[in-house]
Chain A
Amino acid sequence: MAKLNNDQVSTIAWLACGGFIAWASLGYGLGSAASPGSGFITFLAGLGICFFALIGLAEASFRRGKETRWQPVLKGLEWKKAFLVMGALAAYAFLLSPLGFILCTALFVGFMLRAVKPQRWPAVLLGGILSALGTYGIFELWLKAQLPKGWLGF
């Protein structure tokens, strides 16, 4: 693995993905030339992915000079923060209905302000509450979007 470069790794993943798409498309039926089936276009798309991934794999394998080895994509970066944000987004999705929009949003924004690059507590509290109320005003009251109320009823 360590000897493969980034394009080799990604094209192998693409080959698997394209192969799966093409194989699964067969199950939907390719149809005939006069009446192509439901799986026809997705089958072609899967084959296309495999074809271009093979070209990429060949190009990455015969490449000389720089970028012939794996270039760490997370090296020197605070990548844990990106995953923290992803986790918070997923938590928001799962807590939105039970907690309701205002509470969930205030907690989400407050958490983001505090966890990624810590702001002072007054800024965290004020930011969380104001952004929740502000967006509620814009989306629920003005644009009539139906945001979830949650257990607490707001």
Chain B
Amino acid sequence: MGFQVALTPGNLFFCFVGVLIGTLVGVLPGLGPVAAISLLLPTTFHITPVSAVIMLAGIYYGAMYGGSTTSILVNIPGEAASVVTCLDGYQMARKGRPGPALGIAAFGSFIAGTLAVLGLMFVAPPLAEMALRFGPPEYFSLMIVGLTILTFLASGPMWKALLMACFGLFLGCMGMDTIMGTTRFTLDIVELSEGFGLVPVVMGLFGISEVLLNVEQTMERSVFATRIQNLFPTRKDWRDSIGAILRGSAIGFFLGILPGGGATISAFTAYAVERKLSRHPENFGTGVIEGVAAPEAANNSATGGAFIPLLTLGIPTSATMAILLGALVIYGTQPGPMLIKEHPSLFWGVVASMYLGNFMLLVLNLPLIGLWVKVLKIPYPILFPLILLFCLIGAYSLNNNVAQILFMIFFGFLGYLFKKFRYEAAPLVLAFVLGPMLEKALRRSLLHSGGDPTVFLTRPISAVLLGVAFVLLIFPLIPRFTKKRPAFGD
């Protein structure tokens, strides 16, 4: 069924467009998958939900492929998950081996991406079956766990992440109270009666603020000058890296499932594991191929894993997944345990499109390396007006209202201030998306229990989930866990 859906000309086209744009945003430093998905979200309102999700998913895993190119050739990660690829990838390029580095990154990503889709296919349906037993208290507790883990894994002090989550919760609950029918914090602005839309919020926080930061400094890039040849890794390269690819795939998949795990953490973990397992850990950072293969496999595999909690429980594990969740709600499909039953064509169509997308990416990445290098040379002063223009059109075309543009500018400025004062926007976005669902689950639970708050503790699954959240909250108080963590991202 999935391939019947994914192989229709329209869906094939949108899958191709998604992975192409994903690779492009992965290649371009300063524009990550979160910003790209936010920018393109309004354009998907004019196509079918299945095509839209296929395209947006393609952007997400495509960006992971594209990110390696800039890491290897320019030593600037195209997006956060490729930071660790710089360490050995750029060193390989400096030693005259940019081709095998790019090649193993592409093949490793392909293998990992395909394995992750297989995992998604087998894990998601039974998990969704189990989640059918969840009631409002379990959902409330699950969302608390999601928020706790995400804020716990954010870089910087934990209080900042939790503060941002509270602010996101407030923003998410603005507008109409669906239970009482009253409006909240609308300041008598008609456009706020439904609250802030997801698109102006994420476009402002991730797209506009990024541009504002970039224009105040000169982004000089020097692309590696050596001619890129021999993209196919040698037999020795394969021997050295196949274990790393398989281990990276497994690490990425499981960390991708966990809320807050994400591609960045997966890439760092896979790299650390390879270094630990290596007979020559001292060579890591000098240009070893395992140092490229493992993180690239992990960050691609994590994207597949991240779809499991989203599609089965309706819980996003990262900012990108939160935007996808918001998109699914806008399309009229509620992600959660009923999704596979109610919209099987969407679920299986997206899964099948991932197989095809991974293949397309392999074909795109290897022969088009030269083109991506040229793209890298586009000066930022020419690129940023186009990014802004897409933001403006995206915000306006939401409901043909200039107010959405003004909201986006407001959040752009807010995002700019957040970055200046080192507050991360990702926990805010997650809480913004989860906020209304969390409120509904909390109020329904209390209504059904006659106002008894112990309902969250007397139901076993809910109690276990809240226990997990509590442990995670006190975890950072133990000194050895308060060391600096890698940056949160996708």
Contact = CB atoms under 8 A, between A and B. Distances in A.
Interface of A: 6-7, 9-10, 14, 17-18, 21, 24-25, 28, 32-42, 44-46, 48-49, 52-53, 55-56, 59, 73-74, 77-79, 81-82, 85-86, 89-90, 92-94, 96-97, 105, 108-109, 112-113, 116-117, 119, 123, 127, 131, 135, 139, 143-148
A48 B421 contact: no
A10 B419 CA distance: 12
B405 A127 contact: no
B241 to A, nearest CB: 40
Given A33-B453, A41-B173, A82-B416, A59 B157 contact: yes
Contacts of A38: 177, 179-180, 182, 184
A9 B439 CA distance: 31
Interface string B233-267: 00000000000000000000000000000000000
Contacts of A135: 389-390, 393
Contacts of A143: 43, 46
Contacts of A117: 379, 381
Nearest to B398: A145
Contact of A52 (B162, B416, B421): B162
18 contacts: A35-B451, A37-B180, A41-B442, A42-B185, A46-B170, A48-B163, A52-B159, A53-B163, A56-B157, A78-B217, A89-B388, A90-B409, A105-B389, A113-B385, A135-B390, A139-B393, A146-B400, A147-B397
Q: Across chains A and B, which 5 residue pairs bring their CB atoms closest together, nearest first? A: A34-B451, A33-B451, A48-B166, A117-B381, A112-B385
B169 A41 contact: yes
A73 B170 contact: no
B421 A34 contact: no
A86 B167 contact: no
Contacts of B215: 78, 81-82, 85, 116
A10 to B, nearest CB: 5
Contacts of A24: 185
B384 interface: yes
A81 B163 contact: no
A60 B446 CA distance: 38
B interface majority secondary structure: helix
A116 B381 contact: yes
Contacts of A21: 170, 185
Contacts of A42: 170, 173-174, 184-185
A116 B435 CA distance: 38
B160 interface: yes
B43 to A, nearest CB: 6
Interface size class of B (residues with CB under 8 A): 35 or more
Given A92-B392, A139-B393, A45 B386 contact: no
Nearest to A33: B451
A102 B170 CA distance: 37
B443 interface: yes
Interface string B255-291: 0000000000000000000000000000000000000
Contacts of A123: 382
Contacts of A74: 216, 420
Contact of A119 (B381, B393, B420, B450): B381
A34 B446 contact: yes
B190 interface: no
Interface stretch (B25-33, B205-213, B332-340, B351-359): B205-213
A40 B443 contact: yes
B418 to A, nearest CB: 9
Contacts of A6: 421-422
A86 B212 contact: yes
A105 B450 CA distance: 56
B167 A112 contact: no
A130 to B, nearest CB: 10
Given A96-B396, A131-B385, A36 B159 contact: no
B453 A112 contact: no
Given A14-B163, A93-B405, A127 B43 contact: no
Contacts of A109: 385-386, 389
B21 to A, nearest CB: 13
Contacts of A40: 443
B225 interface: no
A51 to B, nearest CB: 8
Interface string B25-48: 000000000000000001100100
A78 to B, nearest CB: 5
B406 A90 contact: yes
A45 B212 contact: no
Interface string B185-221: 1000000000000000000000010011101110000
B447 interface: yes
B169 A32 contact: no
B43 A85 contact: no
Given A14-B163, A77-B217, A81-B216, A89 B169 contact: no
Interface string B428-464: 0000000100110011001100111100000000000
B402 interface: yes
A108 B393 CA distance: 12
